[in-house]
Amino acid sequence: MKEKKFVEVCFTPQDYDYFKGRFEIVVVIDVLRATSAICSAFNNGVNSIIPVSTIEEALEYKQKGYLVGAERGGEIVPGFDFGNSPYSYMTPELKGKDVVLSTTNGTRAINIAKGAEKVVIGSLVNLQALIDWLLAQNKNVVCLCSGWKDNFNLEDTICGGAICEALLASGQYTSDDDSSVAAKYLYLSSMDNYMGFLKSSSHRRRLKRLNLNEDIKYCLTPNQMNVIPILHGNRIINS
C-alpha cells in the first residue's frame, strides 16, 4: 500500500520551528486579509508580488520606484500607494506590474516559511483550486496560519482546517497533531456560515471598527478564483 503523506496545521508563526523542515510544502494563510489580497492581485493579472516583513524594506523598494502596499494594524501606512484591501489590487493600473507588499502578519509568515521546497499562498478565495493543486503534488503539507502578532486566530485556522479535511478525505493523507484535529473541527463547525461563525473573531471586529465590512465579506467568500501563487526566491508568482 502507498505510504500516506502528512497534512498538519501550525497555529501561529511562533510555533513554526516545531514544523520547520518536515514538510515539503508550506501553505501560508492570512484570510483577513493578506493572502486574500495576494490571490486577488494575481486574479487581476499582477505580474509578481515581493512580500517584505518590515516597513523599512518596503520604503527602500518605494524609493527605487516600485508600487508598494503597506498595512499595519489594519490601516494603510501613510506614504505608501495602498494597503491590504483586496479591492486595491483589482484596479487596471496594477495589471502586469511588480508590486511590493508589507503587512502586519501575512508577509512576515511568508518570509518565515522561506526555505521550504514550496511556499504557496492559501485563502478561502482560492480554497478549492489550492486543494486540487495540493492533491496533485502529493507531498507533505503544513498550513502555516499567520495569526495576529504571533497569537492564534480563528479565520486562518478554519481555512487550514478546510485544507486538512479535504486532504484527509482523499485517503492520500493522514495527520498526527492535535492542532490539525482542532482546526478540522473548527472548520466543520463553521463551514455553513463563515460570516456568522467569525462574528466574534478579533480581527473581524478590528476590521469592522475600521469600516472594512466589504473586505470581510469578500475574504470570507470561498472559491472565487483558481490562482495558485507560489514563492520563487523573493517573489510570489502565479503558477
CB 158 to ligand MLT: min, Å: 15
**Residues 89 and 37: beta-carbon distance below 8 Å:** yes
Taking CB under 6 A as the binding criterion, the range among 41-49, 98-106, 124-132, 155-163 that sits at the site for ligand MLT is 98-106
**Residues 76 and 44: beta-carbon distance below 8 Å:** no
Closest CA to 185 of 201, 196, 200, 197: 197
Q: Binding of ligand MLT at residue 30 (CB under 6 A)?
A: yes
Of 34, 94, 145, 220, the residue at the interface with ligand MLT (CB under 6 A) is 34
Q: Binding of ligand MLT at residue 51 (CB under 6 A)?
A: no
**Residues 179 and 147: beta-carbon distance below 8 Å:** no
Taking CB under 6 A as the binding criterion, the range among 26-34, 46-54, 88-96, 153-161 that sits at the site for ligand MLT is 26-34
Q: State how far the alpha carbon of 130 is from the alpha carbons of 172, 195, 227, 228, in Å.
A: 16, 21, 8, 6
Of 12, 40, 48, 105, the residue at the interface with ligand MLT (CB under 6 A) is 105
Of 40, 43, 48, 84, the residue at the interface with ligand MLT (CB under 6 A) is 84
Of 13, 51, 69, 74, the residue at the interface with ligand MLT (CB under 6 A) is 74
Taking CB under 6 A as the binding criterion, the range among 29-37, 44-52, 53-61, 135-143 that sits at the site for ligand MLT is 29-37
Q: State how far the alpha carbon of 21 is from the alpha carbons of 26, 33, 231, in Å.
A: 10, 27, 17
Of 5, 33, 184, 204, the residue at the interface with ligand MLT (CB under 6 A) is 33
**Could you report how far apart the first and last alpha carbons of the chain are, in Å?**
31
Binding to ligand MLT, residues 147-206 (CB under 6 A): none
Instruction: Tally helices (H) and strands (E) across the chain.
Output: 10, 11
Name the DSSP class of 77.
P
- Which residues of the shown chain bind ligand MLT in the complex (CB under 6 A)? 30, 32-34, 71, 74, 84, 103-106, 146, 207
